[in-house]
Structure 1
Amino acid sequence: MEDARLVIRKAEEADLPSLIGLFAADTMGGHGDTTDVDAYDDYLRAFRTISTSSDQTLYTTELRGEIVGTFQTIVVTSLHGRGSSAMIIESVQTRADLRGQGIGAAMINFCIDEAKGRGMRMVQLTSNAVRKDAHRFYERLGFKPTHLGFKMTLK
């Protein structure tokens, strides 16, 4: 994969159908994503919340003008670590038929470079426990599985 062909940019509202399609095609995620038109307003509401936040950014990744990936970054500042900030990478998704071609690595490296450029203490992410290939991918990029995460579904 030639990185020069990839374009990573902030997502725009017009990108929503393509982004929703990426998530809806994910059979392992279990997030209930769907391309059903009745769900569109839920996605639009979330997009607008993200896009107006100073601490969150949603990105798209294009290959030859076609959206092939997405991810979101969230900046968290905490008192521990001497008041430092960390970047959380969320909702990483590469189109299934293009995995293994460097798109995911380009997206993650974009995040790492962005965090370094902003003087952040760390970059972190979580990955669904069933995504063993993704875990190996993140470890190859230098991430370490240092913590155990817990979740409680509320709705």
Structure 2
Amino acid sequence: MTDRLLIRIAQEKDVPALVAIYAADEFGHGDSTDPALLPVYQAAFTAITASTAETLYVAEIGDVIVGTFQTLSTVTLTGQGTLSMIVEAVQTHPDHRGKGIGAKMMAFCIEDARKRGAKIIQLTSNASRTDAHRFYERLGFVKSHAGFKMKLA
């Protein structure tokens, strides 16, 4: 099935399907498919697509969006001007997990990072997502740092 998987840059028409994937996440970020919130998601999509450093992707099989992720390229002065790729919001629709979709999305990210000349690819994962942690470790990611967040009002 994953041999028919297409990874492409997200389009505005994809926003409702992406929101549905985020809203189906059992760990959740407070996402909702409430139609009244669609303008908020569309505004975020517009901001992402306006950025030259960020790209939002979809993974689809046929006409069905089965996964998504976002990348951010950033250069720091540390490491002699290292280019890093940050991967965010990696989600596979719950009905399509365990089929290799996540592995193909991450392989795409890793290859894209290499093509861009990145020296590091990194991501964060909720501490309670132990299955995801095992998945990332199988792909070669190493738990090397502790992450900290502060929610702002």
Task: Report the TM-score when normalising by structure 1.
Answer: 0.96
Structure 1 segments (4+ residues) deviating >4 Å: none
Are residues 1:33 and 2:34 paired? no
Q: Map 1:50-65 to 2 at 5 A.
A: 50-65=48-63
In the alignment, what sits opposite 1:78? 76
Consecutive unaligned residues in structure 2, runs of 5 or more: none
Q: What does residue range 90-109 of structure 1 map to in structure 2 within 5 Å?
A: 90-109=88-107
CA-based RMSD of the aligned residues comes to: 0.8
Inter-partner Cα distance in structure 1 for 2:131 and 2:64: 25
Mapped partners of 1:55, 1:126: distance in 2: 18
Corresponding residue for residue 46 of structure 1 = 44
Match of 2:85, SS state, is strand
Task: Kindly provide the amino acid, as one letter, of the partner of residue 68 in structure 1.
Answer: V
Deviation at 1:64, TM superposition (A): 2.0
User: Which residue, 64, 67, 74 being the options, matches 1:66?
Assistant: 64
The DSSP-based 3-state class of the residue aligned with 2:91 is strand
Instruction: Count residues in correspondence.
Output: 153
TM-score w.r.t. length of structure 2: 0.98
Partner Cα distance (1:18, 1:98) in 2: 14
The residue that corresponds to 1:13 in the other structure is: 12
Distance 2:139 2:33 in 1: 32
Q: Which runs of 5+ in 1 are unaligned?
A: none
Percentage identity across paired residues of the two chains: 54
